[in-house]
Amino acid sequence: MSTPIELLSAEGPVGATTRLIIDLDAIAENWRRMAALAAPARAGAAVKGDGYGLGAAKVAPALHAAGCRTFFVAHLGEALALRPLLSRDAAIFVLHGIPPGCAGEFTGAGITPVLNSLGDVAVWAAAARDAGRKLPAALHVDTGMCRMGLPEDEIALLAADPTLLDGIELSFVMSHLACADDRANPMTARQRERLIETAARIHHRGALALANSAGVLWGADYHFDLVRPGIALYGGNPIPGEPCPVLPVVRLEAGILQVRDIDRPESVGYGAVHKVERPTRVATVAVGYADGYLRAAGNRGHALVAGREVAILGRISMDLMTIDVTDVPPDTCRPGMPVTLIGDALTIDRVAATMDTVSYELLTRLGRRFARHYLGGV
């Protein structure tokens, strides 16, 4: 990974001095590992948010080649963009349900909605009548997250009148775990029991789905018939502090723009929040919060230069950051040489923690000013 920035060809803007390296083979292997943990349950994949910010058009085909046949996106537009890239044996589920007036888009493209309300159920049942055939769907029931899915009053109505589902072929009934990242929280077990109870109440004897990445690690009792890992596919640990058998996926490198020597009473960056206390060599790097490297990492985060961990000095600005390279040999930190901001010891979870956020947000914010270089894939 020591190739000079300008010598690495990649997808991205002309003149980019940063590169985001995305290992599609690692994503595929992470899916295979999650699938093995979940077996005999089937393993799908969450590719919403543009493949967690890494490019769904690259990620989904790589997962498909690895054997994944069930994909989850948030919006209909995401599904329509993926449909031409995946074979017809791949099911694409839209978690946000059916936008008004868009049932025909689903049936025409072979996309499957997740029904989150009796309103969604009614729209899809009407679409089935118009099509003259049963239409597949997933049914999302709320088991305590109080965000999406049929609430208790609608579950009661459906239990009282199962004919509301006439014309709909349920691929599975699902819910979503709220606290699976915390082993000590009893809510995860309660949600599992509520899903089982709700399925019985609505007379569903088919497949169930509950586990996200963290849920996969909770074991067979939570796998049911289908799991839908997300962050683990992209190299994140869904349960902090516990081992997670996944490979790192992303590496972020940027070229040094300038190096300078300063001493007291100088300060570094906006607000002069870092005061120099000794002779210091400062390198300036072309990554800032406009690239998704959050401002909260200022004076807290770290970078790697020639394998050495160095501190970020001062505030992260829109397009730049400064790092302390005082203890790095000068011949390894000249202008144009690479600095690692994500990679090796700087895992996405560790970097996100310095920003007071989670790896999900970090990945989905990584900017389009980077030259993106994909390894492996199809």
Is 359 in a helix, a strand, or coil?
A: helix
Instruction: Out of 209, 234, 259, pick the residue that ends a domain.
Output: 234
Cα–chain center distance at 238: 11
Judge if 83 and 164 occupy the same domain. Answer: yes
Give the pLDDT score at 367. Answer: 86
Same domain as 262, residue 205 = no
| Domain identity same for 268 and 208 | no
What would the two tokens of residue 121 be? 């159920």
One pLDDT digit (tens) per residue for the chain, 378 residues: 334 333 333 565 655 679 999 999 999 999 999 999 999 999 999 999 999 999 999 999 999 999 999 999 999 999 999 999 999 999 999 999 999 999 999 999 999 999 999 999 999 999 999 999 999 999 999 999 999 999 999 999 999 999 999 999 999 999 999 999 999 999 999 999 999 999 999 999 999 999 999 999 999 999 999 999 999 999 999 999 999 999 999 999 999 999 999 998 999 999 999 999 999 999 999 999 999 999 999 999 999 999 999 999 999 999 999 999 999 999 999 999 999 999 999 999 999 999 999 999 999 999 888 999 999 987
Residues 306, 293 contacting (CB under 8 angstroms): no
Cis amide linkage into residue 151, ω under 30° from 0? no
- Is 48 one of the annotated active-site residues of the chain? yes
Structure tokens given for 125? 């049942």
Q: How far is residue 293 from each of residues 287, 303, 316, 356, measured CA to CA in Å?
A: 7, 12, 8, 12
pLDDT of residue 4: 39
Is 58 among the residues known to form the active site?
A: no
Domain that holds residue 191: 40-234
Here the tokens at position 43 are: 């393993």
The two structure tokens encoding residue 352: 């996100």
Same domain, 210 and 268: no
CA dihedral 354, 356, 360, 363 (to 10 degrees): -50
Q: Cα(45)–Cα(78) distance, rounded to whole angstroms?
A: 14
Amino acid at 142: D
Question: Final residue of a domain: which of 174, 208, 234?
Answer: 234
Q: Which two tokens stand for residue 220?
A: 């067979």
Q: Are residues 197 and 285 in the same domain?
A: no
| Domain-embedded: residue 239 | no
1 inside domain: no
**Cα–Cα distance between 129 and 169 in angstroms, integer?**
13
The two structure tokens encoding residue 286: 């072309």
Catalytic residue among 48, 58, 222, 374: 48
Helix spans in 323-374 (H): 348-354, 359-365
Residue 348 belongs to a domain with what CATH number? 2.40.37.10
- Among the listed residues 52, 58, 270, 289, the single catalytic one is 270
For the chain, the domain total comes to 2
Same structural domain, 206 and 123: yes
Residue 31 domain-assigned (yes or no): no
Q: How far is CA 340 from the centre of its chain?
A: 21
Among 234, 267, 301, the domain-final residue is: 234
Residue 33 resides in a domain: no
329 assigned to some structural domain: yes
Query: What CATH number is attached to the domain comprising 118?
Result: 3.20.20.10
Residue 11 placed within a domain: no
pTM of the model: 0.94
Which of these, 40, 22, 30, lies nearest to 63 by C-alpha position? 30
Residues 254 and 227 in one domain: no
